[in-house]
Chains A and B, each alone.
Chain A
Amino acid sequence: MLSLAFNQILLYFSIAVTMFLPGWFLLLAVFGKNKTVSALERFILSFGLGIIITDFIAFAYSKLNISITGISAIIGTAVFCLACLIVYKYRTYSDYQDENRKLFSFSKNQFVLILLLLFLTLFIKTAYLSATVAPTATDMGHHMYWTKLITENHKLPDYGGMPDFIIGEHIALAEIAMIAGFDFFSAFPVVVLLLINILGILTVFSLTLRIFKNKNIAIFTLLFLGMLFAISSPQAKFISGGVIGNIMGNYLLSLIFYFFARAFSELDGLKSASIKIQRSFLSFAVFATFGLFYTHHLTAFIFLFIFAFLAFFFLTINIKNIINILKTSAKIIFSPPVIATLILGLIFFFFIFTPTYIKTSAVETAVGVPEKSTRTGLSFNNLKTAVGDARITLGFIGLLILTLSLKKKSFGFSLIFSWAVMIFIMSAMPYFLFINLPSSRIGNYLSYPMAILAAYGLHYVFNSGINNPIPKKLLSSAFIIITAFVFANGLSDNAEAFKKSPDFSPMVQTFNASEYLAEKTNAGEIILKDHNYITSSDSWIKLFFMRGYKYPLSRGYFRRYEDKTNAREMCTLYMISNPDGEQAKVCYEETKTDYIMINPVYDSVQFKKLKNFDQVYMTEEIAIYHKK
């Protein structure tokens, strides 16, 4: 119990160092104690900015050949925070008073409701994660390999041209592991992702509050994005599944939109104090955009489309005022802090550390005419499944009302509109934009803007304060029915959180067999394992060896060997499925495979009759053969 408590203290300390403090001190240096960013916002934004700063410090270390260790991470953060503190001490700050500073003062009922929603959100997610926190998820296993590699080599990893792994997904986690000394098989990756997920939801809450300037809509957003559908993708299921890029991407995307919304919230009659603040927000938006590009390519790709559409849409609906808008925007954009951030980001991006996917053909493969059925767009039913019936229905009502309200022509309204519409087009009609990516992966992003729109729709329809033509009694009855539908639909998915915990015996057997092989073999010996029937945690096996991302070799899903559109090597199939065959013999000769790790229930028969294989290890789930 004492070690658990000590581990927790180390966890909070390492999270503070790698995620919170750099961001908090940067905000202090830029805004001082100006209330233009409320205390709650400072808290929420600090983590996102902190993660990006930690990435940039690691890039600088890499360029300067400084080892990335727990101590150097702490020193890097300390130096950065000290520099920010010096700026804060010697800089004079404007006493600009944000007109909306009272946005974050809630009534007693609102305050209690916020606390209740936060509690239920975390409670449901934690209940679900408590049965899935064990290291079994395939994606998490792959990501933890790269993260562990940083902790062992003390430098940024070479991803060998694999575009699906991006450095920003691994630096903060690696530094947390190094500072706290965590085992990668502990709960720490899940706990950190849970924190990032919650911060993403809170960022959307703040963004909604800033755009609509209505506390009830923001609270409803917390309901639709936090408590309801708390398990389904891209929420707790992505946390336990280790879909790190999406979890971080959704947080950073919301963060970028928050900064853009604040940078361009007022474009008329800017005062000099206000323009300074808006330039700062735009600088943060640019900085966070670089952070996103260093973290997740799909989210960054989606961001580019949303941003392009937003610029086009906002200028189109404001066509009569376009000259004024462009003039004012130019004053914000072409300013020293924004240009400096942009140049610094570009220098890092192209000269200090370039993400793997820029060097490979990842961008080309994402663009083109979609051919596979999984890339030609989601049906409405697919979208309903991805977003949730209640959320998508109310979301479309909200979108309709928002469209009718666009006469306000505000940047914030345009942002929410563009966010929802562009993701809808990208996921449902990708052929219009020549997007050649799995549509379901894009569809998962729709739940964020749809949650905001659902909140807006629900509030707008049932707000009796508005001149509502519907009779009050009818309105009250409809509200009760719709609320019941929303809760029944949104919570039905959450029922999964309270299912019985699965049996983890297969997982510990996989780990035990891996430990055995790691101890008995050396780096020159080749191991082949099966992915079809070793069903638990097989992507984590490589963490026991740390002899390369593709070590041990793996017999993949059978269907992959039959995919005529993507021919692949066949040795991993032959060597397990028919080890005595002529093709397998050639493969054994070529690959020098020494050990085979399989599930004895399915694959032991073909080895048992062979004299050149010894069965050296056996549990119920795993058998290991040594080739003589």
Chain B
Amino acid sequence: MQQIKIILFILILFIASSLWLFYQGGRQTDPDFNKNWWSVYFVNPKSNDLDFVIDNHSDKSDFQWEVLTGGNKVQTGELKIKKGESQNIKPADIEKTADQKITIQVFSGDEKREIYKNL
């Protein structure tokens, strides 16, 4: 009986550990829980298409974006994105010429992210 009690005690401890570790693991891999980051990326990295996504996992929600061609600002926009959400942005048609570098800059607070394509 004593041995059965030890076995049951080990099992209870293991179950408690397992529950806690799974719970912790879930929170640690959750992109939003206690995390503060955001990303910008092109929807289609291979083509000349300029559609992009802002994926927000930060506590900030105000984002401003700019499209620059050769260093000149040609389009701007502002939007609100809640934590855990993302938004697909389609810049208006831009006249594209060969050897042109089109840059998307996104700002939130004092942070900046940039992606670009060389046409």
- Spell out A's residues near B (CB within 8 Å): 4, 7-8, 11-12, 38-40, 43, 104-106, 111, 114-115, 118-119, 122, 125-126, 129-131, 133-135, 185-188, 190-191, 194-195, 198, 202, 501, 503-505, 507-509, 511-513, 516, 520, 595, 611-622, 624, 626, 628
Residue in A194, A507, A619 whose beta carbon sits within 8 Å of that of B39 in the complex? A619
> Is there an interface contact between B3 and A4, defined as CB atoms closer than 8 Å?
no
From B26, B34, B38, give the contact of A4 (CB < 8 A): B26
- A4/B37 in contact, CB under 8 A: no
Q: Describe A's contact surface by its main secondary structure.
A: helix
**Contacting pair A186 B101 (CB below 8 A):** no
Instruction: Give Cα A166–Cα B5 distance, bound, in whole angstroms.
Output: 36
B interface residues (Cβ-Cβ under 8 A, vs A): 2-7, 9-10, 13-26, 28-31, 34-42, 44-46, 55, 57, 99, 101, 111, 113-118
Q: Of A520, A618, A626, which is within 8 A of B40 by CB?
A: A618
Residue pair A118, B113 in contact (C-beta under 8 Å) = no
The contact of A115 among B9, B38, B40, B57, by CB within 8 Å, is B9
Q: Do B22 and A187 touch across chains, with their CB atoms under 8 A apart? A: yes
In the complex, the answer to whether B114 meets A122 with C-beta atoms within 8 Å is no
A186 to B27, CA, bound (A): 10
Complex: A368 Cα to B112 Cα, angstroms: 56
With a CB–CB cut-off of 8 A, which chain A residues contact B21?
A: 126, 129-130, 133, 187, 190-191, 194
- Beyond the given A520-B45, A614-B118, could you list 18 further A-B residue pairs with CB under 8 A, ordered by the A residue number? A4-B22, A7-B22, A8-B15, A43-B7, A104-B3, A115-B6, A118-B10, A118-B13, A130-B21, A186-B25, A187-B22, A190-B25, A194-B17, A508-B29, A512-B39, A612-B118, A617-B42, A626-B45
Min CB gap B86→A, angstroms: 10
Residue contact B17 to A186, C-beta cutoff 8 Å: no
Closest residue of A by beta carbon distance from B25: A187
Contact of B113 with A619 in the complex, beta carbons under 8 Å: yes
CA distance A12 to B36 in the complex (A): 35
Nearest B residue to A185 via CB reads B29
CB distance from B5 to the nearest CB of A (A): 8
- Once bound together, how far apart are the Cα atoms of A172 and B4, in whole Å? 26
Residues of A within 8 A of B37 (CB): 505, 508-509, 619-621
The residues of A that contact B9 with a CB separation of less than 8 Å are 115, 118-119
B residues near A8, Cβ cutoff 8 Å:
15, 18-19, 22
List residues of chain A with CB within 8 A of the CB of B117: 614, 616
Whether A618 pairs with B19 at a CB distance below 8 angstroms is no
Question: A105 — which chain B residues lie within 8 A by C-beta?
Answer: 2
Report 28 cross-chain contacts, Cβ distance below 8 Å, ordered by A residue: A8-B18, A8-B19, A106-B2, A111-B6, A114-B6, A115-B6, A119-B9, A122-B17, A129-B17, A129-B21, A130-B21, A133-B24, A186-B22, A187-B22, A190-B25, A194-B14, A194-B18, A504-B28, A504-B34, A505-B35, A505-B36, A511-B31, A520-B44, A613-B118, A614-B42, A614-B115, A618-B39, A618-B113
